[in-house]
Structure 1
Amino acid sequence: MSIIHEIHNVVTPVDFSDNSKLIAESAAYLAGKFGASMHLIFVVQNFEDYSGFFVPQMTLPSLEGELAESAETKMASFSAEMKEFCESAGVKELKYKVLMGDVGEKIVEYANDVEADLIVMGTHGYKGLEKIMFGSVADKVVRAASCPVTTINPYTCCE
């Protein structure tokens, strides 16, 4: 049995925060070292779980549809910005996808669908009430993924 694990597909969730580029570049560097394809994904949170917290001015399906449209536009732009870096890093192919639902579940589901060999994602360091209400997406993914997960704390990785 070989302990060497070949990497062909790297999945990287982004949230368009200031740290997304740093996380994506780190993932591209790793994918490039293996000559792997990189899959950038963004998950639009399903608001059904939070419908009791507020009363929106528009219906939830309408709000989610607008968020998904906006996310598609942002993801296309983000991927275009990443293309040159990925090529110079040796990434075989750059793909992107916008999904909708529970963030942790969708990341794991997508990784399974594309037979990911590695997930590279950032941590957010939620504390206190935020962690109780929203949990840690990275923690959910680490626990449920069927492939290795590398997490990057963007606040400490590049000081």
Structure 2
Amino acid sequence: MTWLAQPPIVVPFDFSPVSKEAVGRAIGLLGDPSRVHVVHVLGELSPAEPGEMWNTVDHASRTKHATDAIIKEIGNEVTIKVLFGDAGHKIVEHADEIDAKLIIMPSHGRSGLLRVLLGSVTDRVVRLAHCPVLVLRPEKPKA
């Protein structure tokens, strides 16, 4: 077993193809999906959101909805955690809590204005993490 294949491994999941690939790579490295921790981070709702105002949406219902959607996409063999707040900070906090040995991070490869406007969760995780971070970049389209 190499240093990359030490459990647990954290994989942030945003439903993109590259995040599904990251989950597959983590399972492939460990050979045991139960030691792969898939993390999905949702933003906090504004008090002006209709669901908040009418008390029809809360953390529990959002967690259940997100968990069900993740299971539909990748199955339920992995450990799934839904968190709320700033994605970069929450991913690192969860990795620290479970003493993760590796974070396999999908990257969308945004640059320029999109990166400035949207920020980069990957950059934040790389800067804040106390364990190695493996960044998977999407394949460039072939000309």
TM-score (norm 2): 0.76
Partner of 1:37: 35
Where does the alignment leave 5 or more consecutive residues of structure 1 unmatched? Answer: 87-93
Q: Say if 1:43 and 1:35 are closer, same or farther in 2 by CA, change over 3 A.
A: closer
- Equivalent-residue separation in structure 1 for 2:25 and 2:65 (angstroms): 23
| Cα shift at 1:120 | 0.5
Change over 3 Å in CA distance of 1:83–1:126 after alignment to 2: same
Aligned match of 2:108: 124
Q: Tell me which residue corresponds to 2:80.
A: 96
* Alignment coverage as a number of residue pairs: 137
CA shift at 1:69, angstroms? 3.1
Which SS does the other structure have where 1:19 is aligned? Answer: helix
1:64-90: CA deviation from partner (whole Å, max 9, x where unpaired): x46873453243343365348x6xxxx
Find the aligned partners of 1:13 and 1:68 in 2 and give their Cα distance.
20
| Aligned 8 A contact 1:46 1:100 in 2 | yes
Shift in CA distance, 79/22, structure 1 to aligned 2, threshold 3 Å: same
Aligned in 2, Cα 1:67/1:8: closer, same or farther, shift over 3 Å? same
Map of 2:98 onto structure 1: 114
Corresponding position of 1:138:
122
Report sequence identity in percent: 33
Deviation at 1:137, TM superposition (A): 0.7
Q: 1:58 to 1:80 in 2, by over 3 A?
A: closer
Gaps of 5+ in 2: none
After TM superposition, the score normalised by the length of structure 1 is: 0.69
Please give the alpha-carbon distance, in whole angstroms, between the structure 2 residues aligned to 1:16 and 1:44. 12
- Which residue does the alignment assign to 1:91? none
- Cα deviation for residue 16 of structure 1 reads 1.3
The letter for the 2-side match of 1:29 is G
Check conservation: 1:118, 1:149, Cα contact below 8 A: yes
Question: Hey, what's the Cα distance between the residues in 1 that align with 2:75 and 2:79?
Answer: 10
